[in-house]
């Protein structure tokens, strides 16, 4: 999955967290946010470009 999709999801979850008041929904959004951040980190690690010489 391209990184821009993951970044958009992360941004969306952060926006929703800023507005949410229900503790159960907040917990679910935090879980989803953490999962997306982990996916983004894994994607970036596996798609690094080698340094230029």
Average the pLDDT over 3-15 and give the result.
94
18-42 confidence digits (pLDDT tens): 999 999 999 999 999 999 999 999 9
Domain contains 27: yes
Q: Is the pLDDT assigned to residue 48 strictly greater than 90?
A: no
Domain contains 52: no
Length of the chain, in residues: 53
What is the Cα–Cα distance from 10 to 7, expressed in whole angstroms? 5
pLDDT computed for residue 7 by the predictor:
95
Calculate the CA 35 to chain-centre distance. Answer: 7
Domain contains 42: yes
What is the Cα–Cα distance from 44 to 30, expressed in whole angstroms? 21
pLDDT computed for residue 30 by the predictor:
97
Residue 29 lies in domain: 3-46
Q: Predicted confidence band at 1 (pLDDT cuts at 50, 70, 90)?
A: low
Tokens of 34: 């953490």
What is the residue-averaged pLDDT of the chain?
91
Task: Look at residues 40, 45, 41, 36 and name the one whose alpha carbon lies nearest to residue 16.
Answer: 36
Q: How many domains does the chain have?
A: 1
Domain contains 53: no
């Amino acid at each position: 999955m391209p990184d821009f999709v993951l970044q958009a999801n992360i941004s969306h979850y952060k926006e929703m967290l800023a507005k949410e008041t229900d503790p159960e929904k907040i917990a679910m959004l935090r879980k989803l946010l953490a999962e997306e951040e982990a996916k983004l980190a894994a994607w970036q690690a596996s798609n690094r470009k080698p340094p230029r010489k």
